[in-house]
Structure 1
Amino acid sequence: MFRHSLLVAAAILGVATVHATDIDTYKQSIEQWHAGRLERLTAADGWLSLIGLEWLKRGANRVGSAADNDIVLTAGPAHLGVVTLDADGKIQIALNKDSHATIDGKTIQEAVLIDDVHAAADATPTKVVFGTASFYVIDRDGRKGLRVKDSEAPSRKHFVGIESFPIDPSWRIEATWVPAQPGETLEMGSVIGTIDKSPVPGKLEFTRDGKHFELLPIIEEPGDTQYFIVFADRTSGKETYGAARFLYIDPPKNGKVVLDFNKAYNPPCAFTGFATCPLAPPENRLDLRVTAGEKKYAGEH
């Protein structure tokens, strides 16, 4: 009888130990994910390095740090050069001889600038580098602008870290996948007033606290191996960033999707006013306090 009791106790203890180990392993995986997230965010050319978003006007745009330029930068030479936006959307740059700038690593003075939308799938937009700073052209609904970065940006140098909710395995939810109808899309506004329409691959359905909830992911680019979710919840604007948080999911397996809110993170706009982040669409505003993932950034915007 005594031996039987020990075996039962050992069996119970073994189950508990395995369960605790699984939780510890899961928490370590989230910590590793977050460490990678911080490494990307704080990289020399990460989102914290943004120092400007300068929209181009039609024709010639004189660019530099001097006050007499059409576009005044907070870093770089007094007169970097001239960026010309043609009527057909073509963009060219002519650098000043004494700018000491490079274009895609080359010491040339003139070039056509390819923006982030029109760059080839396996290429990046044309990058102009001057000292610790650089810029490339972005296209947002036909508007062309210079996205300016500097590895010495105050937002990067004075980054205070990101506070997160305690890792909670219960927020790793197995959601049911409902395939979308062909051609289904989701409209999302942005902080700069644009509205983008993106393809929807399906719908996520899950329960929390006995209530039913739904989320719509989108496909950012054809061929992406993950789907993207922009959502808000009842913590938004209070404990978490007001506009939205982001989350990626893997495609469904056997009609199920792992929805891990411990990996919910802040958009670039939570850290800088020079980003063009999407806003959570009405379809993805949860009547639920998602107490998992990143909290509101405590540093200066």
Structure 2
Amino acid sequence: MSLRRIAVAVIFLLSTIAISGCHRNQVPPYSETEEMQFRADEARELAGPRGDLALIRSGLMETSVSLGKDEGSSIRLPNWSGPPLSLTLHGMDVVVEHSEGNALLDGKPLVQRQVLLLTELSQQWITNGGISLRIHKEGQGAWLQVFDAKSEPLQSLHPLHYYAPSPEYRVTAEWIPLPKGYHLTYHRTNGGNDLAQNAPGYVRFSLHGQEYRLYATTYPDMLFVVFRDLTSKTETYPAARYLEIPYNSHAFDPKHPFDPAKRTKMALDFNQAVNPACAYNPNTHCPIAPPENRLPVAIPAGEKRYTPESE
């Protein structure tokens, strides 16, 4: 072989290695220990004073609302103590007014008039005994959540049920971005209003030799997938199950941070499919899996229906 041919061959080989190296994502492998820890964390959060069972109200905030124990409050809270509290929305600011009482803002006494600047990841909490309030930005509005540590669903909590964890249902997948996005319409449970969202892409994966896709919405910290499969008819919650996939989780190669505008290798772990809040709590309105995300295959992995142990 001539020196020129050898040089060309070497250059081609090096470029091939470089190109493949750039796109070779190393998705962390299946770990049963991780699955069991995920379930323990899910059960602990659900049983907490700010978990799905404690949630008694969730929705877009009106221009002005009042919260308190008396009948004159627009949001009546029997377990509230002391004088009522008012919230007034001004753009993306919320003015909180409260006469001297038992309310706290992030653990400190709430002053008579205070302004909260809202973001999508607001973590400011107003508390009054076992009542917790959180307001955060949701699109162009303010989303108000009210939790009660003495809620009826929380008082009647019973264990969660799962399929046995299985590496078969932690599949290699790929995030496929859509430059113009994809319009999803979610109907919601318990009479909630329809929810329209843009899905900037979908997750493509294969299971038992067949290829499928699930459209996902993105949040500042995670991918969110609402889906159904054939087990929804018998063993899992009929409306939907959720996959919440944090960008910093083992679903992604830590050397290749998730970017919704780029194709990305990832893991799709159905062992971590969970029920929506409405599976436990009639006070909530949850997205139902859209037709695009209803899989024609059974996926016996993750959380089963929330039923008493006697059933």
What is the CA distance between 1:190 and its match in structure 2? 5.1
Partner of 1:136: 134
**Pairs aligned (count):** 262
Give per-residue Cα distances to partners, 1:152-191, cap 9 Å, x unaligned.
333223210111122233222233x263232323424252
SS at match of 2:193: coil
Partner of 2:148: 150
Partner of 1:185: 182
Partner of 1:174: 172
More strand as a share of residues: 2
* 1:71-90 correspondence to structure 2 within 5 Å: 71-77=75-81, 79-86=83-90, 88=91, 90=93
Partner of 1:7: none
> Could you tell me whether the CA contact under 8 Å between 1:66 and 1:78 is conserved in 2?
no
Partner of 1:212: 211
Give per-residue Cα distances to partners, 1:203-243, cap 9 Å, x unaligned.
313132x443222233222xx3x533211112225321122
RMSD, matched Cα: 3.0
Partner of 1:235: 231
What is the CA distance between 1:287 and its match in structure 2? 0.9
Amino acid at match of 1:105: G
CA distance in 2, matches of 1:47, 1:184: 30
Seen in structure 2, the aligned counterparts of structure 1 residues 194 and 92 have a Cα distance that, compared at 3 Å, is farther
The answer to whether the aligner puts 1:63 opposite 2:67 as a matched pair is yes
Partner of 1:298: 307
CA distance in 1, matches of 2:265, 2:140: 38
CA distance in 1, matches of 2:66, 2:34: 48
What is the CA distance between 1:141 and its match in structure 2? 5.3
> Could you tell me whether the CA contact under 8 Å between 1:187 and 1:281 is conserved in 2?
yes
Seen in structure 2, the aligned counterparts of structure 1 residues 28 and 233 have a Cα distance that, compared at 3 Å, is same
* 1:121-132 correspondence to structure 2 within 5 Å: 123-124=122-123, 126-132=124-130
Gaps of 5+ in 2: 1-29, 246-250, 257-262
SS at match of 1:47: coil
SS at match of 2:217: coil
Amino acid at match of 1:91: V
Partner of 2:270: 261
Partner of 1:280: 289
The answer to whether the aligner puts 1:42 opposite 2:44 as a matched pair is no
1:106 aligned to 94, 105, 108, which one? 108
What is the CA distance between 1:90 and its match in structure 2? 4.3
SS at match of 1:216: strand
> Could you tell me whether the CA contact under 8 Å between 1:183 and 1:199 is conserved in 2?
no
CA distance in 2, matches of 1:233, 1:163: 17
TM-score (normalised: structure 1) = 0.74
Q: Which has the higher contact order (CA 8 A, sep 6+)?
A: 2
What is the CA distance between 1:276 and its match in structure 2? 4.5
Seen in structure 2, the aligned counterparts of structure 1 residues 78 and 236 have a Cα distance that, compared at 3 Å, is farther
TM-score (normalised: structure 2) = 0.72
Amino acid at match of 2:104: T
Amino acid at match of 1:168: S
> Could you tell me whether the CA contact under 8 Å between 1:186 and 1:218 is conserved in 2?
no
> Could you tell me whether the CA contact under 8 Å between 1:204 and 1:257 is conserved in 2?
no
What is the CA distance between 1:48 and its match in structure 2? 2.1
Aligned sequence identity (%): 26
What is the CA distance between 1:295 and its match in structure 2? 0.7
Amino acid at match of 1:241: Y
CA distance in 2, matches of 1:58, 1:292: 43
Partner of 2:24: none
